[in-house]
Every structure is written in C-alpha cells, then in structure tokens.
Amino acid sequence: MSKSLLRTDKEIAEIYTRHSKTVYRVCFAYMKNPADTEDAVQDTFFRLIKSAPVFDSKEHEKAWLIRTAANVCKNVLRHWWRRRDNIEDFYDLPSPDKIETDDVFSVVMELPEKYKTVVYLYYYEGYTSVEIADILKKPQSTVRNYLHESRAILRERLGDDFDEKQ
C-alpha cells in the first residue's frame, strides 16, 4: 500500500455493505456480545477511514478488514485484562440485539481466542491455511497448528456433529 485516500460516504457505505457481516462475525468471536461487537466493528471501520488504505482488490479489502478487526478486538481484550476486569462479565451484556446461538457455536466460542478467528476463516469463509497466514500475518506452520488443535477440540466436544468434508 503505497498511498492512501479519503473515501466518500458512498464508498464507505459500499465497503460496509460488502464486509459488515464478516467483520461483525470476526469481532463477535472475540467480544462474545453484540454491544462490544458493535463497538469493535465501528472501530475497525474508523481505522479504515483514518488510515485510508488503497486496496488492490475486494479480497485485499476483505483481508485487511479481517486482520484489523482481529487486532482491534485483541487490543480491547488486552485493555480489559490490564484493568483486571473479568471478561466473562461482559459476555452476556444486556443488548437490544439478542443473538441466538446454538451448541455448535457455543463450542466454537469456547475455543481459545487464538483459534477462533482461524476456525472462522477456515470453516466459514473458506480460506486456506496459507491465505489465513497471509491475512493474519502469522507463520503458515502456526496457522496449521492452530487448525489442527482446534479441530481436535471440536471433534472431541461435538462428536458426530463435527463432520468435515471437502
């Protein structure tokens, strides 16, 4: 990214429409409640507005937003940890937007933080481990390791519900 640009409201709204669900899900995986997820989503797009990166493609745009959303959430959680707040206290904050989740999702949410985004990107978004490594700026071996470990946990907890197919 060699240059940056200010985007019009229309351009920002288009980017938001294209990727809001993905960003929301990445943020929800970390924040676990709609209120904090909303804040994290907004912060992610605020960063997009402020740093105004130029993207080569829509995939590049999406990857940038996923990585930024993950970083935003990790920063928030780190801040909470510094304040010694109990993160679990924030899981079920009262919110006008109650999100119904199922057992599978609950099990995914119980995965360690570092696995959740990888699982989401791999199983839901369909990225390969190489692509995930590129998006999250992590070594491919680390991503493969995360996937291997999270798969083992999911298989153990979900049993037959965890059926992988190509």
Residues forming contacts to other proteins in the complex (CB under 8 A) are 6-7, 9, 12-13, 16, 20-21, 24-25, 28, 34, 37-38, 41-42, 45-46, 49-50, 96-97, 99-102, 104-105, 108, 119-120, 122-124, 126-130, 144, 147, 154, 158, 161-166
**Cβ nearer to other proteins, comparing 81 with 91:** 91
**Cβ nearer to other proteins, comparing 77 with 117:** 117
Minimum distance, C-beta of residue 92 to other proteins, in the bound complex (Å): 15
Quick one: which of 86, 59, 73 has its CA closest to 24? 73
CB 61 within 8 A of CB 15: yes
**Cβ nearer to other proteins, comparing 85 with 110:** 110
Please, what is the end-to-end C-alpha distance for the chain in angstroms? 34
Q: In sequence order, what are the beta bridge partners of 53? A: 4
Whole-number Å distance between alpha carbons of 36 and 90: 8
